[in-house]
Structure 1
């Protein structure tokens, strides 16, 4: 990592620390990790998670093979679906009954003028519609790596809406965007924002049991230190509850199963293998 990137990361970390200095809201509920398993080396760069009744789906990020991995709840790969796409920087996966949605939206350095979301027919994975997105106000030539807000790693299909949650390095204010599935090329503007999070957002799902969005993310610095968290966000995009994920680093995906169990995946980092964890919320 060169000195410019280190400086940008440090600046971003200081801005986030300042923005999140206030005490976090809490409902008094506790977040209890129940299980942790290592993921196969093939999923070392896991960067998204989607839960279904009997399995979940994940993918790897930047430059890896364009494969959707089906895994069981023990973290074992049970199926691989290779798509006729390029994985420039896949960062999230979500789905509904008929389609997978793959977010090729990674933009840490800020140099992408446009990003993409791929809608993949679940019955015929060669049938793909690509939505090309440009953020309103994004000027890639002037963005400072790791110190801008035109990035995203979190996407969820919420009812009939496809939502992107920004990875806001510069301000720490998470912006929420809608992707219009009726337009293959579009400029997107935020319709909601979330303040008070203690870091950037890397994963999102919707918890139908509690009627809340659940997000995960972290605050990092140039020296490899991570402060990771999971939070609940109300349907009007207000921070409701937050829990630190101690001993975790680069958590990238989160999903909620049909029983209300939270699952989250951690990308491999130096000296640490990729993992899959489950947790329960206990009301006090």
Structure 2
């Protein structure tokens, strides 16, 4: 189904009991959108923040987590994650992150590993999955919510994915992470995929998403259905789709 034009640059997805939450990236308004399972916007929450490049949203029972971590060009020395109270949108804690080894002045655009578009709250852990342009190896970072400023080092990695990672969630029904991403070229061609990753970060299964292009977010609803959102690209409107994956 098509998403409203207001969500043309949708770049993150989180499933909740009665709908989903999404946001736009790259300088758009600092708004969390609540979307029903018919793809309609039912609520907007504007935050007192700047959307430099919001790329992911996840949540637990008390807080939303917004990842302002987009860094395709590699010129950000530090990125941010905002923890927002679900009861009071003005109650915000910001974590400032620096990737160990990142030297922004020497990074080449779309040819470095210090980028991310995927984040998930996994139990008590907040995990960030890298968008590794240079090596193709996805690095996984654990964010310390007790430390406002921190340098992050990967504690695990995933090899064998057919492109960069743009979204992640955890599927409690199957006990696996689900991720989505794509491989693209300068001519607007996309090879998009969805994959399952075991809890020890081993690649389990991959499925192509052949009709889609720039898929940016994925989440699992309480029935175990996978939902994924696609940003608008030339010739395609933003969309919201579902899939049933069983093994």
1:157 and 2:157 aligned? no
Matched, 1:234 2:198: yes
C-alpha displacement of 1:281: 1.5
Question: Which residue, out of 177, 186, 189, partners 1:213?
Answer: 177
Deviations 1:110-141 (A, max 9, x none): 00000000000010110000000000000000
> Structure 2 regions of 5+ residues with no counterpart?
none
**1:255: which partner in 2?**
219
Q: Which has the higher helix share?
A: 1
Match of 1:168 among 132, 155, 162: 132
Displacement of 1:91: 0.1
CA distance in 2, matches of 1:65, 1:101: 16
Q: Secondary structure at the match of 1:42?
A: helix
- 1:56-78, CA deviations, whole angstroms, 9 ceiling, x for partnerless residues? 00000000000000000000000
1:85 to 32, 42, 49: 49
In the TM superposition, what whole-angstrom CA distance separates every residue of 1:188-243 from its partner, at most 9, and x where no partner exists?
00000000000000000000000000000000011111000000000000000000
In structure 1, distance between residues paired with 2:189 and 2:238: 17
Which one has a bigger Cα radius of gyration? 1
Over the aligned positions, Cα root-mean-square deviation in angstroms equals 0.5
Q: How does 1:87-236 map onto structure 2 within 5 Å? A: 87-236=51-200
Cα distance between partner residues in 1 of 2:118 and 2:135: 17
1:257 shift after superposition: 0.2
How many residues of Structure 1 are paired with residues of Structure 2 in the alignment?
247
**1:73 paired residue among 34, 37, 49:** 37
TM-score (norm 1): 0.87
The answer for the alignment partner of 1:38 in structure 2 is 2
Q: Does 1:271 align with 2:235?
A: yes
Matches of 2:140 and 2:235 in 1, distance apart?
34
Runs of 4+ residues over 6 Å off in structure 1: none
Q: 3-state DSSP class of the match of 1:106?
A: coil
TM-score, normalised with respect to structure 2: 0.99
Query: Highest relative contact order (Cα 8 Å, sep 6+), 1 or 2?
Result: 1
> For 1:48 and 1:93, how far apart are their aligned partners in 2?
5
